[in-house]
Amino acid sequence: MHHRVALGVALAALLAAGARADDKSGCASAALGGGRVESVIDGRTVRLADGREVRLAGIEVPESARATLEALVSGREISLLRLGPDSDRYGRVVALVAVQTGQSVQQALLAQGQARAAAQIGDKGCAAAFLGAESKARRAGLGLWADPYYVMRNAKDPSGILAIRGNLAVVEGKVLSVRESGGTIYVNFGRPWSDDFTVTILKRHERTFTAAGMELKKLAGQHVRVRGFIEERGGPWIEAVTPEQIEIAERNQAP
């Protein structure tokens, strides 16, 4: 009991400190209402007193995040803000969730290493805030970043990437080449391309990346970090749909 109280106090302090940072992050959205949290269903889903279920948008979490989420929101009034679609196919509200301090619960989970930023977040400002919080937790080896299953994958190790196919992964490496064929752009990390890690972007999405300041053809020779669900097409690959899926990696963190 004392441990849980201490955890709640620590997380409340984290939320309060982060609220000031959020003011500068640009992670602000239209209000969707709010309510009091009656229970926590899993690591990113809560039930409100009025019966609605709310899923936290923009993050992926392991089940172990449930205890941290409970400490953050159980019995508290929360605000719901738009971040991508307002609901999912199960009828749950999907939203950016904030407590009274104003900082998103998503960012608090990311900062503790209890979550990873999703492949598609839906807002440029929120994506920057989420990725920044995740990066700090990753460098510090917090939470899931200390678990070998969740660590960042090396693009030079295609078999290691394929070991988690079907799941979200963060992969980092040096881009060997960028080529276009038909309606697809291929960001290649090795040769032969059929066996090594590859990122594909449909040509029709190129303008979205360019508008976000990322010229795909200029990625050749750069160290990048890519997030998405691992699929297999000979070798491992990720389909990138939004610019936040690809980051230019810090020079001192390249594999």
What are the pLDDT digits (tens) for 73-128? 999 999 999 998 899 999 999 999 998 756 699 999 999 999 999 999 988 889 99
Residue 33 vs residues 43, 53, 180, 221, 241: alpha-carbon distances, Å:
21, 13, 45, 46, 29
Q: Residue 123 has what pLDDT?
A: 85
CATH number (3.90.870.30, 1.10.10.60, 1.20.5.510, 2.40.50.90) of 2-145 reads 2.40.50.90
Tell me which residue has tokens 């920057």.
128
CB atoms near residue 200 (< 10 Å): 18
Domain ranges in the chain? 2-145, 152-253
- Structure token pair of residue 247: 């980051």
- Sign of the CA dihedral with 40 first, then 64, 122, and 99 last: positive
Structure tokens at 27: 């992670």
In the chain, pLDDT over 90 holds for what percent of residues? 75
Q: Each residue of 124-146: pLDDT tens digit?
A: 889 999 999 999 999 999 999 99
| Alpha-carbon torsion angle 153, 159, 165, 168, nearest 10 | 0
What's the pTM?
A: 0.82
Tens-digit pLDDT profile for residues 25-48: 467 678 889 999 999 999 999 999
Could you report the per-residue pLDDT of 201-234, keeping only the tens digit for each?
999 999 999 999 999 999 999 999 999 999 998 8
Q: How far apart are alpha carbons 120 and 141 in whole angstroms? A: 23
More confident residue, 253 or 65: 65
Dump pLDDT digits (tens) for 97-106: 998 756 699 9
Please report the sign of the dihedral spanned by the C-alpha atoms of residue 63, residue 1, residue 47, residue 35: negative
Contact 185, 206 (CB under 8 A): yes
Indicate if 152-253 has the same CATH topology as 2-145.
yes
Reduced to 3 states (helix: H, G, I; strand: E, B; else coil), residue 205 is: helix
d(CA 149, CA 116) in angstroms, rounded, equals: 13
DSSP code, position 180: E
Mean pLDDT, the chain, whole residue set:
87
Query: Which tokens belong to 171?
Result: 């992969």
The fold for domain 152-253 equals OB fold (Dihydrolipoamide Acetyltransferase, E2P) (2.40.50)
